[in-house]
Amino acid sequence: MKDLTIRAETLPGWTGSPVPPKRSPWWVVGVAVVVLAALAAGVRWAARRARQAQEVG
């Protein structure tokens, strides 16, 4: 008996490999918002600490 080989390209309705879904760019925006919020909090904390040190000293 002969080996049977079926190529997917020859099957009816075959359109090729599925394209991987593109990642939404919104995750970049979310990360940027978190980084900016952390930076703002750090600047505010440093300014408050410097002001307290100036008042004490």
pLDDT in tens, the chain (57 residues): 577 776 766 677 767 777 788 888 899 999 999 999 999 999 999 999 999 988 886
Report pLDDT for 18: 78
Give every CB contact of residue 8 below 8 A, 6+ residues apart in sequence: 14
Domain holding 43, by residue range, is 26-57
Report pLDDT for 39: 98
In a domain, 5, yes or no: no
Distance, in Å, from the CA atom of 52 to the CA atom of 47, rounded to the nearest integer, reads 9
In a domain, 9, yes or no: no
Report pLDDT for 35: 98
In a domain, 44, yes or no: yes
**Total domain count, the chain:** 1
